[in-house]
Structure 1
Amino acid sequence: MSEAAYLDIDARGVAVITLNRPDVHNAFDDQLIAHLIALIKQAQATPQTRMLLLTSTGKSFSAGADLAWMRRMADASREDNLRDARNLALLMETLNSFPAPTVARVQGAVMGGGVGLVACCDIAIASDAAFFSLSEVKLGLAPAAISPYVIAKMGVSQARRYFVSGERFSAIRAAAVGLVHEVVLATELDAKVEQICTGLLANGPQAMRAAKQLVQVANPLQITPELSEYTAGVIADLRASDEGKEGLRAFLEKTAPVWVTG
């Protein structure tokens, strides 16, 4: 298929959304964000859907933001950047609040917003070759829209480290901090994901929805409209800042940004 993402729902009620931009490591732009929101809503509105599986083609799960999109938004107005950030926040919340169980099949690079997608799923199974980075600070930006979901998964202490360091960490480390639930050999990833899906399908569909809602209601880190608007403002301001523009310039030109010394 040539679509940037597509939805298949099998006879068991497993709705599979596949990111399909392998040539850019499944990085997303404004069009893919809107498309993913529509696909998630379509899966939710389909009566036979019992669970959602998020997967991707190619070497990487998702490398985060698409470079062409970032370049375009660097020259956009604050209002356009705000609208863009709100849509990314909406994608995360649409996935996070999906009423049925959600599973992420994770391989390769998982960067920036890709980490947010993983954090918004109920169960995440990663290949041992996967690696993760909340790399926004290296570009003079911040992991704003995804932050409530990543903090809810990793906890405040780990988020404080990885938000400010931007360092890369392994799948084993991702499991240790709670971002993913299990790490398997790359050759065993599909079998393990299928085992998880089969196990979920053996449970009462309504009971799982109720159980998931219990976790959402009891979660002390509630995502409010005010919080979403705050995070959208943070990224809009940083994108328009001199530092954000310098970070993007340096990244695209493969040079060190001006704040790097020595």
Structure 2
Amino acid sequence: MDYQFLQLDIQQQRATVWLNRGELHNAFNSQLIAELHHCFDALNNREDIRVVILAGRGKSFSAGADLNWMKQAGQASPEENQADALKLAKMLQRIATLKQPTIARVHGVALGGGMGLAAACDICIASDNAQFATSEVRLGLAPSTISPYVIRAIGARQAYRYFLTAERISAEQAEKLGLVHEVTTLEQLDCKIDELIQAILLGGPFAQHASKQLIDLVAGQSIDEQLLQRTAQHIAMLRQGTEAKQGLNAFLNKQRPEWTQATQQQGS
């Protein structure tokens, strides 16, 4: 598919999805939402892609929703309005449930839906000039569709403050809140992401997908007999799999597991 507002850059085992409305600080409209959903859906079906980076062209990661699009949606029928909002919710879910590890590369502003995109990714690395905000209340709105991912990242208590005040959050503060995993300079941003990618490529792809599912299974649950059974089933299933057998044999024989061989060949 040819994208109007995205650029897809695939190098070796990584895919970088660039939001490409730089002149509008990568604000998204219905077209960009549809393109993001399609792009991540396609990447989810690719076995050759091990990690996906979400980034923004221009001065900003994403300023959130295009206000003209939001205004038009509000003037539509209730059914059309809800269907439009559901497309945004489904796009965020598609990113959040991707089988591959995802990294948000954040610089400049990540406001409203832009902060939601960053929170929906597994890992968020930000430059020291990055600023975040759930700015919706200042427009008479609420951070509805992004709320599951932002609350997952910063917790309900902090969400009460920032959902209500819409304060700008510096990169340093976002790291303290748990939204950002690491802050670096803009010049070092790609180097830090490369370090993370190299660490990711050492892990088994199926195991990483299973680990993402495990977090959803365990987070917020009581440690009771049911959870013990489910986690025991989870590891038992993995131990019987081909990937685990290859990985354990490789470790015991002081060899590289199969999934790292492609990386080794590309780097040689």
The Cα shift of 1:2 comes to 7.6
Q: Note the residue ranges of structure 2 that are not aligned, 5 or more in a row.
A: 222-268
State the aligned residue count: 220
CA distance in 1, matches of 2:203, 2:74: 47
Q: Indicate if the aligned counterparts of 1:55 and 1:105 stay in contact, CA closer than 8 A.
A: yes
Equivalent-residue separation in structure 2 for 1:20 and 1:204 (angstroms): 32
Which residue of 2 is the match for residue 118 of structure 1?
118
Which has the higher mean CA deviation after the structures are superposed, 34-43 or 73-82? 73-82
TM superposition shift of 1:49: 1.4
Whether the aligned pair in 1 keeps the contact of 2:3 and 2:35 (CA below 8 Å) is no
Deviation string, structure 1 residues 13-46 (Cα, Å, up to 9, x no partner): 2121110100000000011101100000010111
Tell me the TM-score normalised to structure 1 length: 0.81
Shift of 1:47: 1.7
Aligned amino acid, residue 64 of structure 1: G
How far apart are the structure 2 equivalents of 1:214 and 1:171? 28
- Within 5 A, what are the aligned runs for 1:12-31? 13-31=13-31
Q: Partner of 1:7 in structure 2?
A: 8
Which string of whole-angstrom CA distances, capped at 9 and with x for unpartnered residues, describes residues 182-238 of structure 1? 0001111111111111111122222211211111211238xxxxxxxxxxxxxxxxx
Same amino acid, percent of matched pairs: 46
Q: 2 CA distance for matches of 1:217 and 1:62?
A: 30
Instruction: Give the Cα–Cα distance (whole angstroms) in 2 for the partners of residues 151 and 73 of structure 1.
Output: 25
Tell me which residue corresponds to 1:140: 140
Please name the residue that 1:79 is paired with.
Answer: 79
2:238 matched to 1:210?
no
Residue pair 1:2, 1:20 contacting (<8 A) in 2 also: no
Deviation at 1:84, TM superposition (A): 0.9
Instruction: Report the TM-score, using the length of structure 2 for normalisation.
Output: 0.79
Q: How does 1:217-228 map to 2 (within 5 A)?
A: 217-220=217-220
Alignment of 1:233-244 (within 5 A): none
SS of alignment partner, residue 187 of structure 1? coil
Find the counterpart in structure 1 of residue 262 from structure 2.
Answer: none
Following superposition, the deviation at residue 50 of structure 1 comes to: 1.0
C-alpha deviation, 1:6, in angstroms: 2.5
Structure with larger RCO (C-alpha < 8 A, sep 6+): 1
Aligned amino acid, residue 182 of structure 2? E
Map of 1:156 onto structure 2? 156
The residue identity in structure 2 corresponding to 1:3 is Q
Q: How far, CA to CA, are the matches of 1:10 and 1:202 in structure 2?
A: 17
Alignment of 1:38-117 (within 5 A): 38-117=38-117
Query: Counterpart in 2 of 1:182?
Result: 182
Contact 1:7–1:16 under 8 Å retained in 2: yes
- Counterpart Cα distance in 1 of 2:171 and 2:70: 27
Distance 2:213 2:169 in 1: 31
Task: Using the TM superposition, give the Cα deviation of residue 3 of structure 1 relative to its aligned residue in structure 2, in angstroms.
Answer: 2.8
Q: CA deviation at 1:71?
A: 2.5
**How many Å separate the matches in 1 of 2:18 and 2:219?**
28
1:234 aligned partner = none
The code of the aligned residue for 1:113 comes to G
The answer to which of 98-107 and 69-78 deviates more is: 69-78
Query: Whole-Å Cα distance in 1 between the matches of residues 3 and 65 of structure 2?
Result: 20
Give the Cα separation in 2 of the matches to 1:32 and 1:202: 33
Deviation per CA, 1:50-90: give whole Å up to 9, x if none.
11111111110000011221231232121111011100100
